[in-house]
Chain A
Amino acid sequence: MKAPASSTKVVSRRDFLKTGAAGSASLVIGFCWGSRSLLNATSDAAKDFEPNAYIEIHSNGDIRLIAARSEMGQGVRTSMTMILAEELDADWLKIKVEQAVATSELKYGDMTTGGSESVRSSWDPLRKAGAAARQMLITAAAETWNVPVGECTALGNSTIRHRISCRTLSYGELVAKAATLPVPKDVPLKDAKDYRIIGTAKPRVDGRPIVIGEAHYGIDTKVPGMLYAVVARPPVFGGRVKKFDAEKAQAVPGVKKVVEVAAVEMPPLFGEERPANSGHQHYLWGGVAVVADSTWQAIAGRKALSIDWDPGAGAEESSEKQRAACAEMVKGSGKELRKIGDPAKAFDGATKKIEAEYELPFVAHTTMEPPNCTAYVRDGKCEVWAPTQNSGGMATALASALGIPASAITIHITLLGGGFGRRLNIDYGVEAALISKAAGAPVKVIWTREDDVRHDFYRPMSHHRLRAGLDAQNQIAAWMHHIAAPTTDGVYVGGDLPDVGGTEVAGTGLPGGVVLNYLLEFSFLHTRVPRGYWRGVDPTWNNFVVQSFIDEIAAATGKDPLELRRELIATKAKPEAGSGDQPPVDVARLRHVLDLAAEKSSWGTPLPKGRGRGVAAIAGWGTYLTYVAEVTVANDGGVKVDRVVCAIDCGQVINPDMVKAQVEGGLVFGLTAALFDEITIEGGQTQQSNFNNYPMMRINDMPRVEVHIVPSHESPGGCGEPPVPSIAPAVANAIFAATGKRLRRLPFQTGELAKA
């Protein structure tokens, strides 16, 4: 996912921490994390220290961590608890993580949850804050006992002990005194070998409410006087309401009001980083909302609406036209994004030439909790309850759409029933606020699944032309990759060619820096179909293509696919991650996960007829991952993924069980798209609507997944996205191994595999 905030920024300001008193007898430590502030205000170093996260230790021993990262299943509340408990030497069961409320006061800094960076960006500040608090509690104990600080030890259970007299005091007993002490600077952090919580499998701190039905998602919001709404949105992207007749809808029992939702041009999602002329726009395309006493009445009211739409020029669009346009574009040359050596000359002079084209469709997020938002706009203020990954962006957009100052906006971030990047978009929040304002009441806007599938911000479709030239020794002398695609962020209404690169070309990286002559080109597809960040983002296209094409070269040269990968990164290799957001690639770590996956999967041992094994690897988000997939291909072409072995090096692991869960889940996300998912456009409209025509992987499709984690004390890497991209190429390569047939289009057109 686009990393909207710098992921490794270490807070270095002199007054990094400060204490405060929260009522009586509590130790409160404010600290800073994240980078960009909410609502685009800069955190001016000259200003007073403004903490954006807090630890509170109370006299009864309870510890609260108030922080800003949305929980969407990735277990971030548990990870943050573990990191804090480690350095604070606290009883980790006494720590409660509370979701910060997004307000304009910049209290919680950048609250964006995406880019696989919640742990990455919390890691340093949280440890430092915990260590400082522990040191203050130790000092408080030493002063109480009138003994040297060096004789006092934190036991790891929220207790300090004097090692000479064996007296103990609990954190709760010490907070009043500790709160009067200055915050120490540069307290040394623990050595990794001394970790007792970090690196162990801990259960989720928030697991129980889920299994008893008390977990509170956005869709479960209820506020006094709340009404329910659904919205009829323009079926054609870019369309508008021409006129509508609400008479029949008004007559439906329970329907209170029918209101038109204005079309709104929204600000960029993550503040103002893109140049103003970049041409990327986010629109709320408006519609007609039916507001009622219950969800069902609103749905019934919407069915009774009669709306005359102006489809606009978008009605001309179709997937077939888009595919044909992309196929045509890659025949020529595109905008040169990266060039090493003289690829054209090296290709022309090659002994052997290999060419292939690959295609991927638009895909939707389909979070299990559909988009929804509850809003209450009154007296020039706006209060919102939203399952969002991007409260900062939503606040900015709300202020702009409602014409009120940001200081009048409060966003309560609920639990998220899945995020996957969909909830980085803020359309559903702005829409709910506009409806609440028009209805003069708090309104919960619920999207049906059909609304969700047809009005998503899709992962872009793409078409790729790959060309490799091999020399007489079968070494890759030239590698050329031409991508034709729309860009990722919203829609593009600018000049001929947008500013490409941030979230379109990551994952192309492996050959760049490995191959002596390299070319990456991009051709832009104009479309009104909205695009967004989909778990794994651009590597989900590019890794499929690059890791498949490496296999094609292996097949053409008679090399073992895994061996060829080892060769490619063995010598002189300086692979590029492919985008500025991605950290540089450490070849040794990539090599290690290849070797580990090979070993654990018994790579190279024979499989029965009809079965095959395929490998694919990725380096991204500070993490290294290799999959080996085993598939069975039936005579009718049906593909069953039987087993997947994963080797992952994500640096220092906080909770190995959650790493495994993220791999299992990320793999399902990627495999679902590889096997089933395709959003197609006809007449400018999305043709799919629900899980009957946009199917998902189910339990009977689930392969046996084995996850092997490389022990490491490197900085933590991301875990949400790295498991997504490489499963499609691993399976494509396994299908080739099983059948000799190369599938170059997602979702897999398995009909091509059927035996006559």
Chain B
Amino acid sequence: MDTISITVNGKAQSVEVTPDTPLLWVLRDTLGLTGTKFGCGMALCGACTVHVDGEATRSCTTRISAVAGRNITTIEGLSTDGHHLVQVAWLDQQVAQCGYCQVGMIMTTAALLAKNPKPSDADIDDALGGHICRCGTYQRIRAAVHMVACNCQTVEAGPGTPIKINLDPCDKPGAKR
């Protein structure tokens, strides 16, 4: 067991683990940050993606010893209020189904857009092609990335449509209250 210092979501942390422990399990089991998900353990699916000094990184194959002293950002620290533009776009486009892989998708997208604010479809394929969503939400993921990039409004399926109430005499102008 070694004592290793890392900074997670701006907070200095000291953990006592074997140096070969993947960052993923330190985050989840030691620090209780379970927003980062386990999917494959081989950097094949992207569910475990976090930022290490701003770079999208697969935490399942990153040894804790390799990130000593580095700045790590997880989904819990992506934004202070949960309103990072990528998170907003994900909700607006109603991307998630089961949602398990989406945290990784969001972390990779945030890192992509920080470097490349107007990604092409090919750029999106490159960045997110390392991720797997078994629910098959890819079409909406692409729409959400483009939405952030162009700062567009809802295409369809946005937040609730207004509720229509049958007009009765009380709704007419001048009705007594």
Q: A75-B97, A212-B75, A368-B100 are in contact. Are A665 and B29 (CB under 8 A)?
A: no
B139 touches A213 (CB 8 A): no
B155-177 to A contact mask, C-beta < 8 Å, 1/0: 01111110111001110000111
B54 at the A/B interface (Cβ < 8 Å)? no
A201 touches B156 (CB 8 A): yes
A10 at the A/B interface (Cβ < 8 Å)? no
Q: In the complex, how many angstroms separate the beta carbon of B127 from the nearest chain A beta carbon?
A: 9
Q: In the complex, how many angstroms separate the beta carbon of B81 from the nearest chain A beta carbon?
A: 9
Q: In the complex, how many angstroms separate the beta carbon of B33 from the nearest chain A beta carbon?
A: 8
Which of A74, A201, A699 lies in contact with B138, CB distance below 8 A? A699
B176 touches A664 (CB 8 A): no
B97 touches A73 (CB 8 A): yes
Which of A207, A217, A300, A416 lies in contact with B96, CB distance below 8 A? A207
Q: In the complex, how many angstroms separate the beta carbon of A194 from the nearest chain B beta carbon?
A: 8
A157 touches B165 (CB 8 A): yes
A211 touches B175 (CB 8 A): no
A702 touches B139 (CB 8 A): yes
Report chain A residues within 8 Å CB of B103: 210-211, 213
Return the chain B residue nearest A671 by Cβ. Answer: B136
Return the chain A residue nearest B124 by Cβ. Answer: A699
Return the chain A residue nearest B103 by Cβ. Answer: A213
Question: Is chain A's binding surface mostly helix, strand, loop or mixed?
Answer: loop
Return the chain A residue nearest B164 by Cβ. Answer: A196
Report chain A residues within 8 Å CB of B18: 253, 296-297, 300
Q: In the complex, how many angstroms separate the beta carbon of B90 from the nearest chain A beta carbon?
A: 5
* Cα–Cα distance between A213 and B36 once the two chains are bound (Å): 7
Q: In the complex, how many angstroms separate the beta carbon of B61 from the nearest chain A beta carbon?
A: 12
A118 at the A/B interface (Cβ < 8 Å)? no
A161 touches B170 (CB 8 A): yes
Report chain B residues within 8 Å CB of A450: 41
Return the chain B residue nearest A201 by Cβ. Answer: B157
Among the interface residues A196, A415, A704, which one has the most CB atoms of the partner chain B within 10 A? A196
Q: A295-B28, A368-B47, A691-B40 are in contact. Are A166 and B177 (CB under 8 A)?
A: yes
Report chain A residues within 8 Å CB of B135: 73, 368, 418, 665, 668
A696-723 to B contact mask, C-beta < 8 Å, 1/0: 1111111011000000000000000000
A73 touches B30 (CB 8 A): no
Q: In the complex, how many angstroms separate the beta carbon of B112 from the nearest chain A beta carbon?
A: 12
* Cα–Cα distance between A24 and B17 once the two chains are bound (Å): 51
* Cα–Cα distance between A701 and B139 once the two chains are bound (Å): 10
A665 touches B97 (CB 8 A): yes
A294 at the A/B interface (Cβ < 8 Å)? yes
Return the chain B residue nearest A200 by Cβ. Answer: B161
A381 at the A/B interface (Cβ < 8 Å)? no
A370 touches B98 (CB 8 A): no
A436-479 to B contact mask, C-beta < 8 Å, 1/0: 00000000001011100000000000000000000000000000
Report chain A residues within 8 Å CB of B75: 212-213
* Cα–Cα distance between A370 and B41 once the two chains are bound (Å): 11
Which A residues from 153 to 206 make CB contacts under 8 A with B?
153, 155-157, 161, 163, 165-166, 196-197, 200-204
Q: In the complex, how many angstroms separate the beta carbon of B111 from the nearest chain A beta carbon?
A: 16
A368 touches B101 (CB 8 A): yes
A219 touches B37 (CB 8 A): yes
A72 at the A/B interface (Cβ < 8 Å)? yes
Among the interface residues A156, A163, A197, A201, which one has the most CB atoms of the partner chain B within 10 A? A201
A166-B169, A203-B159, A699-B124 given; 8 more Cβ-contact pairs under 8 Å: A73-B96, A207-B94, A211-B87, A217-B37, A369-B39, A418-B98, A669-B134, A705-B139
For the complex of A and B, the 10 pairs showing the least CB-CB separation, nearest first, are: A213-B35, A668-B136, A73-B98, A417-B100, A213-B75, A73-B97, A210-B99, A665-B136, A702-B138, A220-B34
